[in-house]
Amino acid sequence: MDWIHIEGIRAQCVIGVHDWEKQSPQPIEIDLNLGCDLSAAGQSDDLTQTLDYKAITDDVLAWAQASRFELIETLAETLCQQLLDRYPLAQSVKMKLMKPHAVPYVGNVGLSIERHRGE
């Protein structure tokens, strides 16, 4: 399997279980690895044969910023499913989602998940 890497997507979204977290958007950071077959794109030099990382980044930003969840687990699960639904070439998504201001005196907290088409 081949991989498209998109690292350091920075978005603002309303996420958290505490009342203060639900009052205004907070920063999150997302790294993506999308598994797919890139051989056709490598041979054709044609953008339509690959995953457009600009379009993917724009979609992830829009989806994250429009979301309102309590848990980053729910946000990550939702984003992975939306990516698999929107981009048929993607066979799997590995996502690292970090919430830098979730815990005082801690640089980052977050999670990593991996989802595959057909799960």
> So which residues are the catalytic ones?
99
Residue 49: partners with Cβ closer than 8 Å, 6 or more residues away:
40, 41
Identify any residues that bridge with 69 across adjacent strands, giving them in sequence order: 15
